Amino acid sequence: MSIQPNLHGLSHAAREAKSWPFEQARLLLARILRLRLSDAERDLAAALFAQGAFAQAVQTLPALARPVIFQCGYGASGLPHMGTFGEAARPTMVRTAFRALTEDALPTQLIVFSDDMDGFRKIPDNLPNRAMLEEDRDKPVTSVRDPYGEHESFGAHNNARMRAFLDSFGFDYSFMSSTETYRSGRFDVVLLRILERFDAIQAIMLPTLGEERRATYSPFLPISPTSGRVLQTPTLERNVQTGTITFADEDGTLTEVPVTGGHVKLQWRPDWAARWVALEVDFEASGKDLIDSVRVSNKVVRALGGEPPEVFHFELFMDENNQKISKSKGNGLSMEEWLRYGTPESLAYYMYQSPKSAKRLYFDVIPKATDEYLQQLDAYNRARADGRNEPAIDNPAWHVHGGRPPERGAPVSFSLLLNLVSAADASTKEILWAFLQRHIPGATPASEPLLDQLAGYAINYYEDFVKPAKAFRAPDDRERAAMLALIGKLRALPPGADAEAIQNVVFEVGKDGGFEPLRAWFSALYEVLLGQSQGPRFGSFTAIFGVARTIALIERALAGELTA
């Protein structure tokens, strides 16, 4: 996901590109021109852009020199997870597309904002030192002691984990802490404006709440000077001149505190709006479940005199039972689990594809996502080899790799590796490589690093999911006859027959055997020989596994020697 591409010369293609990051990039550019420039300046910018003079436009129009701000949030009460990756990956893809659209002349910045001033309301079940955490309940996460004893607070612990997590994937971002932002005064102007326009904010927020909460709601959550807890308490008095509010502390004492300097934090929807205004955020991606929250926060932004960012809504991931993925439930697939069975690039590809459609996030999507990513990478490189660089920017691989896909992928699909592991009962990569090197002369783990990684993932996936579910069956009479015929055809092949020649033989035997549709023949091969309902191109599998070994595998199946 690292952003270090050469984006010059791509603006023309970027204007016509159909992929969703480019669609968002064009909307974002229109927003920048509309908000930052006068009508005359927009005409000048358009003329310069049409000439490809982006750097000159920025020099001529200083308003374009202010960074275009992309933002995503992180809930610091928990460890980084699959959603954290997606929160950073999607705006990064739009950012890269925007940079290509403007030939990298307009400065950009991705802010990863940690909501670490939130009150620590719920203690996750998997944390140590729960009694200590119970004592710190409701304090800002950065005031909660670290249960692991490694950092100055639990918030600092999770922030460090999150930054290491993003760094490991090469994301280019600027980190911001809510606690530091509030305490440093970065939000002070907006906080004072909310105090000044308190009634207008309440008029927006109260209709969104239930009757009970409406009676006590305030956009300000004071930090108790005595306990340090974030309090859900009404604002009893407010003083615009002194910039303070009065509330009842936990013991009932009327207490006056400034709304600035970290003495209060905002409820989350006003907080979101205040962040957009204070940081001048131009783009944010959020889940479809937050559409209403975005709508409310947009109203708050306008009440504060700001302009809401472009917001791209993506659909949510579902588990194997079509239930929404939830951190608290622990359903679906974790980041660590995906990376045990698939590459980070396959995950980024899964995040990229069809963001407006709900998708299952479970183990069985990993092989398909991996092979689709590899196919897209191959297609990109074929286009590049043909000199068709510009159209290739709509290829998912371009977005997955931040505009710089590698020049080679893997010569073998992940599904083929899985079936090779199955047929060879390979427990190590060394066993797998013994077959691969016969098919790819001269190949080594060093010369084919991606293939070597995929081999390890395939072994893990096979051991955990495929092997326990294997269910061999005996062939029926027609299938037995066809498999005997296939043995004869395979034996008649010339030495060194390639995958295509072998595939043609398999097709021929299936047709002669009267299999209609022909996929019934291939299903029979997979179920009888591999104990599963699907598999790779049989010709490619045989070419790598070896014709003699494949014949022996068929003979064992016909003799009833294959078991799960």
Give the residue among 39, 36, 20, 59 at the shortest CA–CA distance from 282. 36
As a whole number of angstroms, the distance between CA 21 and CA 48 comes to 23
As a whole number of angstroms, the distance between CA 538 and CA 527 comes to 13
Question: Same domain, yes or no, for 343 and 491?
Answer: no
> Looking at the domain assignment, is residue 326 inside a domain?
no
What is the value of pTM for the model shown? 0.90
Dig out the tokens for 12 from the structure: 């023309």
| Mean predicted lDDT score pLDDT of the chain | 92
From 240, 266, 292, the end of a domain falls on 266
Question: Same domain, yes or no, for 122 and 106?
Answer: yes
Q: Map tokens 């971002």 to a residue.
A: 173
SS3 551: helix
Q: How many domains does the chain have?
A: 5
Question: Same domain, yes or no, for 153 and 233?
Answer: no
Q: What residue numbers bound the domain in which 505 lies?
A: 477-558
Please give the full DSSP string across 45-65, using - where no structure is assigned.
HHHHHHTT-HHHHHHH-GGGG
As a whole number of angstroms, the distance between CA 154 and CA 146 comes to 4
As a whole number of angstroms, the distance between CA 133 and CA 148 comes to 11
List of residues 6+ apart from 116 with CB closer than 8 A: 76, 140, 141, 142, 155, 156, 158, 159, 177, 178, 179
Question: Same domain, yes or no, for 36 and 154?
Answer: yes
8 Å CB contact between 187 and 278: yes
Model confidence pLDDT, tens digit, residues 462-502: 999 988 988 999 999 999 999 999 999 999 999 989 999 99
CB crowding 329-355: b at 16 or more within 10 Å, else e: eebbbebeebbebbbbbbbbbbbbbeb
Please give the full DSSP string across 355-416, using - where no structure is assigned.
TTS-EE-STTHHHHHHHHHHHHHHHHHHHHHTT-TTGGGGSHHHHHTTT---S---SS-HHH
> Domain of 502: which CATH number?
1.10.10.350
From 243, 266, 289, the end of a domain falls on 266
Q: Is the pLDDT of residue 7 over 80?
A: no
As a whole number of angstroms, the distance between CA 380 and CA 403 comes to 11
Question: Same domain, yes or no, for 171 and 211?
Answer: no
Mean pLDDT of 75-82: 76
Model confidence pLDDT, tens digit, residues 8-35: 778 888 999 999 999 999 999 999 999 9
> Looking at the domain assignment, is residue 93 inside a domain?
yes
> Looking at the domain assignment, is residue 339 inside a domain?
yes
As a whole number of angstroms, the distance between CA 274 and CA 168 comes to 30
Question: Same domain, yes or no, for 22 and 170?
Answer: yes
- 6 pLDDT tier (thresholds 50, 70, 90): low
Q: Is the pLDDT of residue 156 over 80?
A: yes
Question: Same domain, yes or no, for 86 and 166?
Answer: yes
Question: Same domain, yes or no, for 76 and 121?
Answer: yes
CB crowding 76-103: b at 16 or more within 10 Å, else e: bbbbbbbbbbbbbbbbbbbbbbbbbbbb
pLDDT value, residue 326: 60
Question: Same domain, yes or no, for 465 and 508?
Answer: no
> Looking at the domain assignment, is residue 306 inside a domain?
no
8 Å CB contact between 116 and 154: no
Is it true that the peptide bond before 517 is cis, omega within 30 degrees of 0? Answer: yes
CA dihedral of residues 466, 470, 475, 476 (deg, nearest 10): -110
Dig out the tokens for 298 from the structure: 């947009």
E strand or H helix that includes residue 255: strand 254-258
Model confidence pLDDT, tens digit, residues 211-242: 999 999 999 999 999 999 999 999 999 999 99
CA atoms within 13 A on the CB side of 372: 16
From 184, 215, 237, the end of a domain falls on 184
> Domain of 112: which CATH number?
3.40.50.620
- 2 pLDDT tier (thresholds 50, 70, 90): very low
Question: Same domain, yes or no, for 38 and 124?
Answer: yes
> Looking at the domain assignment, is residue 163 inside a domain?
yes
Dig out the tokens for 86 from the structure: 């997606």
Task: Supply the angle between the helices 344-352 and 82-101 in degrees, to the nearest 10.
Answer: 70
Model confidence pLDDT, tens digit, residues 66-77: 999 999 998 877
> Looking at the domain assignment, is residue 272 inside a domain?
no
> Looking at the domain assignment, is residue 178 inside a domain?
yes
Question: Same domain, yes or no, for 433 and 389?
Answer: no
Question: Same domain, yes or no, for 28 and 157?
Answer: yes
- 564 pLDDT tier (thresholds 50, 70, 90): low
> Looking at the domain assignment, is residue 52 inside a domain?
yes
- 262 pLDDT tier (thresholds 50, 70, 90): very high
Q: Would you put residue 496 in left (φ > 0), alpha (ψ -120 to 50) or beta? A: left
